[in-house]
Amino acid sequence: GRLGAAPAVADGALAAPVADAKELVQVTPHVLWNGHLTVNPATVLDDDAYSVVARPDVAEDAYDLDIRLDTHWDGTPGGDGIHAVRRLVVPLRLARAWDGAAPLVDPERISETMNDLLRATAGVGAVSITGDNVDHLPEVRPAQAGATDALGRPANQPFGTIHGSFTLAGTLGHDHASVTADALPVDLSAAPFVPDALLGPCWPVVYAALGSVVEDGMPLIEGLLGAVHLDHTIDLHLTLHQLQKAAATASPTINVTGWVAALEESSAGRVVDVRLELTDAGDGTLVALMRERFAIRGRASGNAVPSAPELA
């Protein structure tokens, strides 16, 4: 419904003209998001779950759909002090919508708002599970010609590399088990340490790697809302006993290097191949190699199923 438009029949009901820009944002069924017609979030949310905010500082037709996100801690004492992703802003331009076109997700501002979401999702501003302060997203370093991975193999790093670190805390195995093994039958008990416990502290590097991909001026993370973790492989180069002992006694610092190695078009969406190398910051010992693949749904430009995952 456009401003002042005559009623039209839609889905068997009369559509009334909208009174102002706020109502237009509330009722329009779709928005145009980087060339993709996408369901307007406002049409599936309760009215008190979002605000429509005019942005005259940007342009006369600029508005923000400012969405408040539910969290597990809503309504609990002290819950506001727990780090969580609580806000999502969808920047809109309405100039083309006055005569019936879908509102446009602003290509000039979507990078900023999705980067805000990326940082919040990566835990920036919080203390990690290993007790490290996450005060920024790791920065991207330019790609180097002739780069190799920790095993000396040629490494494709077209978007650069990301470098971070974390403390191998003595509580990491227990904390991971409390999340993943809480529902085990009473006759089973969680292992004191498992390889996948190493992935959690790597998420800031993983998200920074996703944020490193920019093609034709548009960041890959404009489609972050449609991202799913497709698969995960890990090649462990220390024994679990060695890791558990190191965590309990020395709590060494683990350096993490990450990069996006490839992009693949598939029927499931755009598949992003993220590689991680974990090494002991003290002596350079290789701890593990990981490969994390993500599918950006709704950004498919192929009809083949995603390729089978390779080992890290």
Spans of all domains in the chain: 8-108, 126-296
Tokens of 126: 């919080």
* 4-18 pLDDT, tens digit each: 444 444 454 446 788
- Report pLDDT for 7: 43
**121 and 83 Cβ atoms separated by less than 8 Å:** no
The Cα angle at residue 97 between residues 95 and 102, in degrees rounded to 5: 125
**Number of residues that make up the chain:** 312
pLDDT value at position 22? 94
CA nearest to 206, candidates 169, 166, 243, 163: 163
Residue 130 C-beta-side C-alpha neighbours within 13 Å: 24
- Look up residue 242 and give its DSSP letter: H
The topology (CATH level 3) of 126-296 is Thiol Ester Dehydrase; Chain A (3.10.129)
pTM of the model: 0.89
pLDDT at 302 over 90: no
CB neighbours (10 Å) of residue 117? 18
pLDDT tens-digit readout, 158-196 = 999 999 999 999 999 999 999 898 888 989 999 999 999
Give the integer Cα–Cα distance in Å for 66 and 38: 17
- Over residues 31-40, the pLDDT tens digits come to 999 988 999 9
Q: Is the pLDDT of residue 75 over 90?
A: no
Q: Is pLDDT above 70 for 274?
A: yes
Burial of 194 (0-12, 13-18, 19+ CB in 10 A): middle
Average confidence score pLDDT of the chain = 91
119-163 residue pLDDT tens: 999 999 999 999 999 999 999 999 889 999 999 999 999 999 999
Residue appearing with tokens 């190493």? 198
Integer angstrom CA distances of residue 196 from 179, 201, 293: 12, 10, 15
